[in-house]
Structure 1
Amino acid sequence: MDRADIVHENFLRRGAARDFPAGRAPRPGLPAEDAVALYRAQCLSRALDRTSRAMQKAGQGYYTIGSSGHEGMAAVAHALRPTDMAFLHYRDAAFQIARAGQLPGQTVAWDMLLSFAASSEDPISGGRHKVLGSRALNIPPQTSTIASHLPKAVGAAYSLGLARRHPPEHRQLPEDAIVMCSFGDASANHSTAQGAINAAQWTAYQGVPLPLLFVCEDNGIGISVRTPKGWVAAAFSSRPGLRYFHADGLDLYETYRVACEAAHHVRTRRKPAFLHLRTVRLYGHAGADVPTSYMSREEIEAEEANEPLLHSVRLLAEAGALEPEAALDIYRQTCARVERIAAEAVTRPRLGDAREVMKSLIPPRRACRPTNGPPAEARARLFGAELRAMDEPQPMGRLINWALHDLMLEHEEVVVAGEDVGRKGGVYGITQKLQARFGADRVIDTLLDEQSILGLGIGLAHNGFLPIPEIQFLAYLHNAEDQLRGEAATLPFFSNGQYANPMVVRIAGLGYQKGFGGHFHNDNSLAVLRDIPGLILACPSDGAEAAMMLRECVRLARTEQRVSVFLEPIALYLARDLHAAKDGLWTRRYPSPGERIGLGEVGIHGKGRDLAIVTYGNGRYLSCQAERELRKAGIDLRIIDLRWLAPLPETALAEAVKGCRRVLIVDECRRSGNVSEALMTFMSDSGLRAARIAAEDSFIATGPAYAATMPSAQDIVAAARKLVAS
């Protein structure tokens, strides 16, 4: 017999016999009507779990990670407000159901069953995944995350204080709101959770408002691995800057009382708190999980004997709110109602083709206040004597700095954040003077944790800000990349376009730095970014392009809610000369604030027909060095700067190479998994004769061999001559 059926039968039998598990008497504070409503939410959560398993067995449902044992989260929802943003653990159906009871007109059972059935009418994901979430209930959707939603919860909580001082145009949360995020005891050990909780403490310790409630649902096991007894309390009960609360999640009354205390602390003190809830896990991890393979029958039955619904029935009876017979009737009626609704939900349409599935990869446009660039008077006050320098050619680093100034001046919601971006102005000085001119709350020096930096950006975007987080080096992204892949880029997809994380992530990267850093500060692999659906990857090659492309990325974030990664070639930050010392051929004048380079617009330099060199970043610089020698050899060429590396600008590229006899692809990144592979495929599909040179599949060395594994100007000359001669 299935464990779900055993728990169901035991509940009905023991409830009728008034054979309740022992527990405290109900605490005062929860009115009878509210207590009964929460019990109804618990019953609905349980009925949905049972029905999801039946749907799967019948081939009509596709998800069985349930909430059974965690029904106490209904009381946590009751202690919060619908305006408090909630990032939920995947076992929190009872929370969403109870919150739905706080707003009229909700059809939460129908909505969740559509999600179980993967129907395209599912109001949160449109049939793309079974997720908890609701736009109306202020619950952004989460999939089966392992605490990856905690960093953005920290960012959303931080945004509440920032919004009081700088209200963004698209503000989502009221001033008195708090943010809640929930997770399991096993997930609490994940580096993402540890980093997010540490970031919250670090922030609060400095007196910065951070109204965030962490809720750890401790059922004592992570799939099959036991959490050491007492570990969560020992690990989190005495952390600086984090108030600890504990409640028995099996006790509806106690959970509500303690959750109210925790929420009051967070709301009034504007400081984070940690609510540790004791729960149980019923039925195993998911439908396919067989708990008897790693737990004894005695252990399983002991957990089942601590049935949360039986605790609720006892408490309601002792409080005089509901007799056990009436409570059992509610449970039976709820189960029957869910079965009836499910029978209809499984008949509703599902996604049918790739176009429908991919429809929400790109979020919808949003209306924004019209802007005409920063006012001239404000620019004059801000830049002072620097305005005269803008008429003189400058290197890339300085032009990016000025572009950031103009963007922050034009858009009050732009926030720059990252390690060392404030007082120091960044490792390479790119953010110099920003903090002094715009303040420490808009140019945020963060702690050293890339997950927290990206999470801050995602969370700020949830409340209407336009974040520009900085990752110091491309190699540093890899321990935080899931914040882009699993959170930022997937949010429009799993919310059917109802939520988005518009932001521009600046990353210093690529190779060719002389004598500095080796592979930790020179990273020439883009594969981790290029295969994230919906993500825009931009890479400029000179300062003017950098300024204009950065403006376009901000426009895309602001009006189209896109996530962009703006990859800045470190070796070109200070580059001034191309062929000889002091020739100044790689400096550019600062483009006026209204000039942009549109997404998908490539750069075409020259009109030659013998050869087209297709490249980007440092590759364009090297190709321009090679160009002089190639022209001396009689090769008429053009250089095409891709600029946009994901999605590839195929339409513009096809037009750019038109009329050329040969195409040489110059890719400064590794041969495997990078841009040149996609370009070679595109050229082949287009019927063009193409060759490529790319970096070796190797890390980058420090010292004299810093460029040994990457293409050089002479490599380009040799490859071009060979291709043209073939």
Structure 2
Amino acid sequence: MTELIEQQQRIAPTPEHEGDSVRMNMIQAINSAMDVMMARDPDVIVMGEDVGYFGGVFRATAGLQAKYGKRRVFDTPITECGIIGVAVGMGAYGLRPVPEIQFADYIYPALDQLVSEAARLRYRSAGEFTSPITVRSPFGGGIFGGQTHSQSPEGIFTHVSGLKTVIPSTPYDAKGLLIAAIEDNDPTIFFEPKRIYNGPFDGHWDRPAKNWSGHPGGEVPTGYYRIPLGTAKVVRAGAALTILAYGTMVHVCRGVVEEAGVDAEIIDLRTLVPIDIDAIEVSVKKTGRCMIVHEATRTSGFGAELSALVQERCFYHLEAPIERVTGFDTPYPHSLEWAYFPGPVRIGEALKKIMKDA
């Protein structure tokens, strides 16, 4: 236990953020987060398929092996179960591994290691061992990746006690949340919405951008800062309706709402587990209406849990039934993926329905 306390305290406290701010897209911000943490903590290890010399399929780990060496940034065989199994062992030993699963669709072979080992290690050992691993993985659609490169499986992991689930929507949040996840002593699933890796799609959320290279997403400090897990963010204040979203859907909802002229308050959840229920409750009790938007399939999606939480805590303040706008309950379509996403048409219809008697 003494070693655990020392491990938790070994990183000295720092100011709110360090360094100047520069324009970064989400990939650059994620790379910066790992760079900062590897420089601060020699126990941080990056591992995964093609993360070393090649720098990752999306270039999120570019340059890290050249800077920190092959012992701290290394390629693994194509075995997701092995990647996570090794990471769990490293974490129990005292390291802080950051394994990358190349696409969220490939994470299923590692479920047993995540659910049976990583999520339970603290409890099974009565706190003697922890599993401070941060599993990074691009998720969701938007790049015509088809059924095996486009899934949104966050609902699987939010169901597992002992796992934390994080989904950023901006470069600034991606870096601050990733640093917080790496510092956390519990296992975290860090899903990165690849549809906005390189920036918003030119403001058009019902079709891909002509220029996939995108645009830098925002100002991000070059040094250390962290965003505590479990804190949501109000990205647009409003009084008539609360919209709960995360990842890409935050931007989609904002574009639709502003075009429709609805006085909606949009809350970016940022972390699904732990969930910032206080922020949700305050907003829904103020607006009296709630809409939930996510890209994953509808049945047993995380929106169902959000709907239950809002119903339990805000029932007497609701002035209309809770609306959910989600992906369809079908295998992920390849050629029709832009019809699969919640977009301006479906979100607009839900807005009209929920605001009908306002």
* Pairing 1:710–2:334 present: no
Question: What is the CA distance between 1:714 and its match in structure 2?
Answer: 2.5
* Pairing 1:671–2:298 present: yes
CA contact under 8 A between 2:22 and 2:222: conserved in structure 1?
no
CA contact under 8 A between 2:198 and 2:216: conserved in structure 1?
no
* Pairing 1:694–2:321 present: no
**Aligned residue identity for 2:177:** M
The match for 2:9 is 368
Q: Supply the distance in 2 between the matched residues of 1:721 and 1:481 (Cα, whole angstroms).
A: 40
* Pairing 1:568–2:192 present: yes
Q: Supply the distance in 1 between the matched residues of 2:264 and 2:5 (Cα, whole angstroms).
A: 40
Q: Supply the distance in 2 between the matched residues of 1:652 and 1:605 (Cα, whole angstroms).
A: 12
Q: Secondary structure at the match of 1:484?
A: helix
Q: Supply the distance in 2 between the matched residues of 1:607 and 1:620 (Cα, whole angstroms).
A: 13
Q: Supply the distance in 2 between the matched residues of 1:429 and 1:423 (Cα, whole angstroms).
A: 10
Question: What is the CA distance between 1:618 and its match in structure 2?
Answer: 1.2
CA contact under 8 A between 1:396 and 1:543: conserved in structure 2?
yes
The match for 2:231 is 601
Q: Secondary structure at the match of 2:287?
A: coil
Q: Secondary structure at the match of 1:453?
A: helix
* Pairing 1:410–2:40 present: yes
Q: Supply the distance in 1 between the matched residues of 2:242 and 2:53 (Cα, whole angstroms).
A: 44
Question: What is the CA distance between 1:414 and its match in structure 2?
Answer: 0.2
**Match for residue 432 of structure 1 among 43, 49, 62:** 62
The match for 2:148 is 520
Question: What is the CA distance between 1:657 and its match in structure 2?
Answer: 3.1
Structure with greater proportional helix content: 1
Q: Supply the distance in 2 between the matched residues of 1:638 and 1:364 (Cα, whole angstroms).
A: 40
The match for 1:612 is 242
CA contact under 8 A between 2:154 and 2:165: conserved in structure 1?
no
- Residues 441-520 of structure 1: pairs in structure 2 closer than 5 A: 441-513=71-143, 515=144, 517-520=145-148
Q: Secondary structure at the match of 1:519?
A: coil
Question: What is the CA distance between 1:483 and its match in structure 2?
Answer: 0.4
CA contact under 8 A between 1:523 and 1:699: conserved in structure 2?
no
Question: What is the CA distance between 1:586 and its match in structure 2?
Answer: 6.9
CA contact under 8 A between 1:416 and 1:442: conserved in structure 2?
yes
**Aligned residue identity for 2:225:** E
Q: Secondary structure at the match of 2:188?
A: strand
1:610–1:586 CA distance, 2 compared to 1 (3 A): farther
Post-superposition, which runs of at least 4 consecutive aligned residues in structure 1 deviate over 6 A?
A: none
TM-score (norm 2): 0.89
1:656–1:626 CA distance, 2 compared to 1 (3 A): same
Question: What is the CA distance between 1:698 and its match in structure 2?
Answer: 1.7
Question: What is the CA distance between 1:677 and its match in structure 2?
Answer: 0.4
- Residues 150-169 of structure 1: pairs in structure 2 closer than 5 A: none
Question: What is the CA distance between 1:578 and its match in structure 2?
Answer: 4.5
- Residues 265-304 of structure 1: pairs in structure 2 closer than 5 A: none
**Aligned residue identity for 2:326:** A
**Aligned residue identity for 1:638:** E
What percent of counterpart residues are identical? 30
CA contact under 8 A between 2:21 and 2:222: conserved in structure 1?
no
CA contact under 8 A between 1:371 and 1:410: conserved in structure 2?
no
- Residues 394-409 of structure 1: pairs in structure 2 closer than 5 A: 394-409=24-39
1:585–1:449 CA distance, 2 compared to 1 (3 A): closer
**Match for residue 51 of structure 2 among 421, 438, 447:** 421
Q: Supply the distance in 2 between the matched residues of 1:365 and 1:718 (Cα, whole angstroms).
A: 54
The match for 1:163 is none
Q: Supply the distance in 2 between the matched residues of 1:564 and 1:370 (Cα, whole angstroms).
A: 19
Question: What is the CA distance between 1:534 and its match in structure 2?
Answer: 1.5
**Match for residue 551 of structure 1 among 179, 183, 192:** 179
**Aligned residue identity for 1:443:** V
Q: Supply the distance in 1 between the matched residues of 2:13 and 2:7 (Cα, whole angstroms).
A: 18
Q: Supply the distance in 2 between the matched residues of 1:586 and 1:716 (Cα, whole angstroms).
A: 26
CA contact under 8 A between 1:395 and 1:576: conserved in structure 2?
no
Question: What is the CA distance between 1:592 and its match in structure 2?
Answer: 5.0
For 1:375-421, what per-residue CA distance to the aligned partner results, in whole angstroms no more than 9, with x for missing partners? x9xx9xxxxxxx8xx74422111111111111111111100000000
Question: What is the CA distance between 1:366 and its match in structure 2?
Answer: 5.1
**Aligned residue identity for 1:545:** D
Higher RCO structure (Cα 8 Å, ≥6 apart)? 2
Q: Supply the distance in 2 between the matched residues of 1:639 and 1:502 (Cα, whole angstroms).
A: 32
Question: What is the CA distance between 1:608 and its match in structure 2?
Answer: 0.9
Question: What is the CA distance between 1:717 and its match in structure 2?
Answer: 1.9
Q: Supply the distance in 2 between the matched residues of 1:394 and 1:527 (Cα, whole angstroms).
A: 29
Question: What is the CA distance between 1:648 and its match in structure 2?
Answer: 2.5
- Residues 174-185 of structure 1: pairs in structure 2 closer than 5 A: none
Q: Supply the distance in 2 between the matched residues of 1:433 and 1:629 (Cα, whole angstroms).
A: 41
Larger Rg over CA atoms: 1
Q: Secondary structure at the match of 1:707?
A: helix
**Aligned residue identity for 1:566:** F
- Residues 62-211 of structure 1: pairs in structure 2 closer than 5 A: none
For 1:532-586, what per-residue CA distance to the aligned partner results, in whole angstroms no more than 9, with x for missing partners? 1011000001111100111111221xxxx2111111011111124552679x887
Q: Supply the distance in 2 between the matched residues of 1:591 and 1:482 (Cα, whole angstroms).
A: 37
CA contact under 8 A between 1:394 and 1:576: conserved in structure 2?
no
Q: Supply the distance in 2 between the matched residues of 1:570 and 1:466 (Cα, whole angstroms).
A: 24
TM-score (norm 1): 0.45
1:607–1:595 CA distance, 2 compared to 1 (3 A): same
For 1:60-102, what per-residue CA distance to the aligned partner results, in whole angstroms no more than 9, with x for missing partners? xxxxxxxxxxxxxxxxxxxxxxxxxxxxxxxxxxxxxxxxxxx
Q: Secondary structure at the match of 1:549?
A: helix
Q: Secondary structure at the match of 1:518?
A: coil
Q: Supply the distance in 1 between the matched residues of 2:172 and 2:14 (Cα, whole angstroms).
A: 17
Q: Supply the distance in 1 between the matched residues of 2:182 and 2:279 (Cα, whole angstroms).
A: 21
1:364–1:518 CA distance, 2 compared to 1 (3 A): farther
Q: Secondary structure at the match of 2:57?
A: coil
Q: Can you give the 5+ residue segments of structure 2 that lack an aligned partner in the other structure? A: none
Q: Supply the distance in 1 between the matched residues of 2:294 and 2:278 (Cα, whole angstroms).
A: 20
1:373–1:439 CA distance, 2 compared to 1 (3 A): farther
**Aligned residue identity for 2:9:** C
Q: Supply the distance in 1 between the matched residues of 2:342 and 2:216 (Cα, whole angstroms).
A: 19
**Aligned residue identity for 1:418:** G
Q: Secondary structure at the match of 2:131?
A: coil
Question: What is the CA distance between 1:655 and its match in structure 2?
Answer: 2.4
Deviates more, 1:622-631 or 1:562-571: 622-631
* Pairing 1:681–2:328 present: no
**Aligned residue identity for 1:546:** A
Question: What is the CA distance between 1:512 and its match in structure 2?
Answer: 2.3
Q: Supply the distance in 2 between the matched residues of 1:713 and 1:555 (Cα, whole angstroms).
A: 38
CA contact under 8 A between 2:198 and 2:215: conserved in structure 1?
no
Question: What is the CA distance between 1:370 and its match in structure 2?
Answer: 3.8
The match for 1:279 is none
Q: Supply the distance in 2 between the matched residues of 1:483 and 1:424 (Cα, whole angstroms).
A: 26
The match for 1:9 is none
Q: Can you give the 5+ residue segments of structure 1 that lack an aligned partner in the other structure? A: 1-134, 136-168, 171-362, 380-386
Question: What is the CA distance between 1:521 and its match in structure 2?
Answer: 0.4
The match for 2:159 is 531
Q: Supply the distance in 1 between the matched residues of 2:14 and 2:202 (Cα, whole angstroms).
A: 32
Q: Secondary structure at the match of 1:393?
A: strand
Q: Supply the distance in 2 between the matched residues of 1:685 and 1:476 (Cα, whole angstroms).
A: 35
Q: How many positions carry a matched residue from both structures? A: 344
**Aligned residue identity for 1:409:** A
1:365–1:524 CA distance, 2 compared to 1 (3 A): farther
CA contact under 8 A between 2:256 and 2:347: conserved in structure 1?
yes
